[in-house]
Amino acid sequence: MILAILKMIGCLALLMFGMKTMSEGLQKLTGGHLRAVLGTMTKHRIGGLLTGTFVTASVQSSTATTVMTVSFVNAGLLTLMQAIPVIMGANIGTTATAWIMSVFGFQFNMSSFVWPFFALGIILSYVRKNSVKSFGEFVFGFAFMFLGLTTLRENAVAMDLSHNQAVIDFFSACGNWGIFSTLLFLLLGSFLTMCVQSSAAIMAITLLLCSSGVLPIYQGIALVMGENIGTTVTSNLAALSASTQARRAALAHMLFNVFGVVWVLIIFHPFVNMVCHIVGFDPNFVPQTQEEIARASVRVTYALSGFHTAFNLCNVALLIWFIKPMEKLICKIIKEKEDGEDFRIMFISGGLMSTAELSLFEARKEINLFAERTQKMFRFVPDLLVMKDEADFAKLFARIEKYEDISDRMEIEIANYLNKVSEGRLSPESKTNIQSMLREISEIESIGDACYNMARAIRHKFQSKDDFTEEQYGRIKHMMQLCDDALTQMHAVITADHQIDANRTLNLENEINDYRKLLKEKNVADIESQKYSYQMGVHYMDVVNDCEKLGDYVVNVVEAHANKKFST
């Protein structure tokens, strides 16, 4: 018995691995297109609903669709109101998985058909073209999924669950408590889905138990309802440390499913009986002959899949008209935090995404935020330069110091995240992207160091009794304006969806270099003519030199992003 249970766990693991591999292969193959669809087809609630359904049915993973949607909300590319219909559509799209398992896994014996798919997958994996390799990965996943489903079913037959008295007595005992039985199996489905983190895997187990005749249809459907809640808990736990908008999108997913479970519980038996009638399954019919048993075992899987589809379709039909009230309720539950300056990773705090492509998408958003914060830090420096009040100066300098610490920590966090991503299976393009990103964050952190060094040079000047001349102030301000222009151009290059001429950054850097050279010559002449002291000249050139270094770091960031070396 123990060996049989271990075999079932192994079959379940094979099924989950197949689902994961198949989903990853499709996401690698169509990920960019799917993101484009999500970004452009969500302006109307019906468009968002159809988009969520199509994307989820394509990648066979509601989690992947939800992750992309939440990341878009987090990045400001989608509003919460646009994201809610997509999440609703993802719930409809995920029902396709149950139908695939019901039709192909339980009605047909797929054991003879999966081996050619393994052969095809291995052939495709040797093709150099990455899109073909990704399709080969999808084929492998497809073969593994049905091999796991087939062996799971065969193992259940070998265990003879339909005549296992202990199993039958357990489910019979738990099924005689009325509404409490339904609630028990609902909680069990939620708990198992949270543990396994795959609603498809628990759905497969539910289909198996019901088709074997040991689990009554009503308890099986209660498990399915629990799976719908359990699959939302994972995303909410992952979003706890994410941004406010990400947590709101995750909560919308949970509220949608919880609301559906509540109203179905109120009309549970009539609703289940209606679905069973549609698919041609009688819950009260007791099959006698082998033919009737075989027919009932297939029909009960249709009833479970039909319920899953009807549940989500009806739930969407009810709630699609109340998206705005839902948004208001969610915003009241999760209030917007005041925008402080504490260290906070916004896009990668939820852990690795389901594929390297999605993980790199999140990392890119975090790097863009890193660059934005660094430019914000730089813009404090011109204000520090002209401050005369000691208390205000100390306060702003402490603020710059805090940003420098944030810059150091962001570099470490993003680098650690990218290193984790690099441990997975990556395409050559993804490997190149990771190397470029690691160089980008190193150079952006150096920009933060340059800003801090400018602030320190200005503090040294502030602590002395002398001051810069008006001419020096004017020259430093012009130099800082050139640096700010370079940072703005750098941010435009790394955040743009389309190619931007990176040579504009190089031109600005050359202008900064030429101006630094001019100021260096003028500084020597001004000290000789005693316009200011030698020490003031040192503080002055420290600021100028750090501006010139900042320009170099900006060019390095753009070089890394463009994956090429500029000729200088």
Q: How many CB atoms lie within 10 A of CB 325?
A: 10
pLDDT at 565 over 50: no
Q: CA-CA distance, 535 to 383, in Å (whole number)?
A: 22
Give Cα separations from 518 to 479, 523, 525 (angstroms).
Answer: 11, 9, 11
Q: Is the pLDDT of residue 113 over 90?
A: no
Report pLDDT for 371. Answer: 92
89-118 mean pLDDT = 77
Residue 564 binned pLDDT confidence (cut-offs 50, 70, 90): very low
Instruction: Express the helix, strand and coil content of the chain in percent, nearest 5 each.
Output: 80, 0, 20
Helix (H) or strand (E) holding 548: helix 534-562
Report in angstroms the alpha-carbon separations of 466 from 289, 525, 540. 104, 19, 12
Q: How far apart are CA 349 and CA 369, in angstroms?
A: 14
- DSSP string over 12-44: HHHHHHHHHHHHHHHHHHHHHHHHHHHHHS-SS
Q: Are 147 and 18 in contact (CB under 8 A)?
A: yes
Least confident range of 176-180, 367-371, 403-407, 510-514: 176-180
Q: Which amino acid is at 191?
A: F
pLDDT at 37: 62
pLDDT tens readout for residues 434-460: 899 999 999 999 999 999 999 999 999
Burial 31-59 (b: 16+ CB within 10 A, else e): beebbebbbebbeebebbbbbbbbbbbbb
- How do the domains of the chain map onto residue ranges? 2-333, 356-562
Give 248-265 pLDDT, tens digit per residue. Answer: 888 888 898 899 999 999
How far is 243 from 71, CA to CA, in rounded Å? Answer: 10
Query: Residue type at 207?
Result: L
pLDDT of residue 230: 85
High-pLDDT (> 90) share of the chain, %: 24
pLDDT at 557: 92
243: helix, strand or coil: coil
* Mean of pLDDT values over 543-554: 94
pLDDT of residue 568: 37
Q: Could you tell me which residues come within 8 angstroms of residue 314 by beta carbon, excluding any fewer than 6 positions away? A: 260
User: What average pLDDT does this structure show over 483-498?
Assistant: 87
**Global pTM value:** 0.59
The pLDDT-based confidence of 355 (bands split at 50, 70, 90) is low
Q: For residues 91 and 61, give the distance between their C-alpha atoms in angstroms, rounded to a whole number.
A: 10
d(Cα 159, Cα 214) in Å, to the nearest integer?
Answer: 12
d(CA 460, CA 277): 84
pLDDT for 133 equals 81
The most confident of 134-148, 319-333, 340-354, by mean pLDDT: 319-333
Tens digit of pLDDT for each residue in 255-308? 988 999 999 999 998 998 898 888 888 877 666 666 766 777 778 888 888 998
Q: What integer pLDDT is reported at residue 395 of this predicted model?
A: 92
What is the distance of C-alpha 334 from the center of its chain? Answer: 20
How far is the C-alpha of 175 from the C-alpha of 185, rounded, in Å?
9
Contact (CB, 8 A) for 445 and 407: yes
Give the dihedral of Cα atoms 326, 203, 226, 20; nearest 10 deg: -60
Highest-confidence segment of 26-30, 40-44, 226-230, 515-519: 515-519
Q: Is 280 left (phi over 0), alpha (psi -120 to 50) or beta?
A: left
Q: How does residue 566 score in pLDDT terms, banded at 50, 70 and 90? A: very low
- Packing angle of the helix pair 534-562, 503-528 (nearest 10 deg): 170
Could you give the C-alpha distances from 180 to 14, 78, 183, in angstroms and in order? 33, 41, 5
Report which residue type is found at 318: L
**The CA-based dihedral angle spanning residues 537, 542, 544, 548, taken in that order and rounded to the nearest 10 degrees:** 150
| Choice between 454 and 181, residue whose per-residue pLDDT is larger | 454
Q: What is the pLDDT of residue 441?
A: 94
pLDDT of residue 147: 79
Check residue 340 and give its pLDDT. 44
Average pLDDT score, the chain: 80
DSSP readout, 261-286? HHHHHHTHHHHHHHHHHHHT--TT--
Give, in words, the CATH class of 356-562.
mainly alpha
Q: What is the mean pLDDT of residues 338-345?
A: 52
pLDDT in tens, 533-544: 999 999 999 999
* Total number of residues shown for the chain: 568
Tens-place pLDDT, residues 45-81: 788 888 888 877 766 667 667 767 776 676 566 778 8
